[in-house]
Amino acid sequence: QSVNMKRAFLTAVATLIGVLPPLGETGPITAPHRLGTVRLVPTRLDTHRPKQRPLTLNSDLVLESARQNLPGVALTVQAIDWAVVREDIVQMLERSSDDTLAPTMLRLAWHASGTFDGDGDPVGGIVHHGATMRFEPEAGYEDNRGLQVAREALAEVRGRHPAASHADIWVLGGYVAVERLGGPHIAFRHGRTDGEAGGIHCPPESRLPHWNASGDSLRDTFGRLGFGDRELVALIGAHTVGHTRPERSGFPYMQWDGTPKKFDNEFFDFLLQDWWVFDDEDPEHPYYRNRSWIMLLSDWELREDGAFRRIVEEFARDQDAWHAEFATAFKKLTELGWTLEDSPETYTLE
């Protein structure tokens, strides 16, 4: 039956018949409206059969032929106004008393996307069967400690927009966080789908870059994601916001630079200074420190590796250049696995 439903949808897409009703309405389709992501929720009229999961079409046309080709299935159209979703995230950040929430939302989008491996099983990432961090074991990975704060905050937003996927909400939350912290605007493309189970469906923790990674290890990890040295340095520069926290990372409560609430290029400037000392008082979590500031061993590699350091020096001089390259790299990270065949029509929220 599932195969027949998929075949029916493919037939519907091919015929390009039907259009979306006004926002908030369901039932007969009467007039064209371009609203981007559309969710078709099939409910079996035969209650003795299992209820089917919602199906999402990333198209500006809801296809009437889907109704004609799915006998026994009632379809309800739910449209998502992504400008409203974005504003809800902005308002949530403004109301929050937690000044670390925005950096944590950025980290959530990063970690949920950075598990992608096109040759892996599972593939991971956040585009297809994404947001598996809602389940164990991924939710409990050491590198993901503390991210439940962002997941819970964004779950409240999704509660007002249940047709949206968790994956899309997490990515948009990351984009909004960057912008609210003073970083670049990133155009949002939607249509990601959620995984529905954990266990073997969760990508392994080893795919994320580790805090003590060597230069070669960083290149291997980011290379798997399709990134070169410039993109690697640009993305790690996001350490300019937020803090380390003992209950999350095992490191003391410290910040990377003097402006942990501002998405500026001070991280690169601090990294190049000479006042750092190696601290291995805790042999399991050694780091470089200067008073209340910290650099992880992986950060330090950006200073010590000649090719990385030249990029660090450039970004320390030119914040606009870093912002532009970060925006491009972060968008690429959060769209890994998307192909033209998956989504022939690209929708962005400018």
pLDDT tens readout for residues 71-127: 555 544 458 999 999 999 999 999 999 999 999 999 999 999 999 999 999 999 999
Q: What is the pLDDT of residues 111-127, one digit of tens each?
A: 999 999 999 999 999 99
Is 256 in the active site?
A: yes
- Helix%, strand%, coil% for the chain, nearest 5: 45, 10, 45
CB 305 within 8 A of CB 270: no
Active-site residue, from 82, 110, 111, 129: 111
**Number of helical (H) and strand (E) elements in the chain, helices listed first:** 12, 10
CA dist 68 and 317 (Å) reads: 60
Is 111 in the active site?
A: yes
Q: Which residues lie across from 254 on neighbouring strands? A: 244
Predicted local distance difference test score (pLDDT) of residue 58 = 39
CB burial string 178-201: b at 16+ within 10 A, e below:
bbbbebbebebbbbbbbbeebeee
Active-site residue, from 82, 256, 293, 322: 256
pTM above 0.75, yes or no: yes
| Closest among 204, 234, 184, 214 to 296, alpha carbons compared | 214
